[in-house]
Amino acid sequence: MKINVIATAVVNKGKWNQVEVTYKNLATDKVDSKNIVSFSNKDVYNILKDSRQGDVFEVTTEKNDKGYWEWTNIVGAVATPVGEQPKKESGGTQYKSTYETPEERALKQVYIIRQSSIASAISLLKNDKKVPSKDEVLALAKDFENFVFGNANTIVPLAELPEFNDDLDL
């Protein structure tokens, strides 16, 4: 199978790495992706982790004993000269990786934690049988967020939180 590399991303998985390859199969004209792990076929992994957009390879595939297709060999890289953009194939489109960067993933986690903290703050403050104010909700949510991120020195002391009906026998 002949492929044209659209994008690659190396992901550190701890004890091993993985290169996520987005490519265009030149025989079928379809865009697809494949994850190649560093411990499976090191030669294929090493070539792909250093490849760039526009590189063309001939890939040999074989089914493994579990029935999955593996890339067993890769040859014939045609590299794009440094500083040049890869040429578009006639009628083709330039593809851009849609994978999140580590910074985007981290920011998304912050948003999720904030949303969860606000929901938890509303739930806790509603136990007082009154409608909590926006400031009360956001202050308590910020405390929850700080706790999750380990910023314990910014947590408001319990005595400064709104007073609750103590239904619990502790």
- Contact between 59 and 73 under an 8 Å Cβ cutoff? The reply is yes
pTM for the structure as a whole: 0.44
Q: How far apart are CA 18 and CA 32, in angstroms?
A: 16
Q: What is the mean pLDDT of the chain?
A: 78
Which pLDDT tens digit goes with each residue over 58-112? 888 888 888 888 888 888 645 444 445 545 555 555 556 677 788 888 888 888 9
List the chain domain ranges. Answer: 2-81, 103-160
DSSP type of residue 101 = P
**What would the mean pLDDT of 158-164 be, rounded to a whole number?**
54
CA gyration radius, the chain: 26
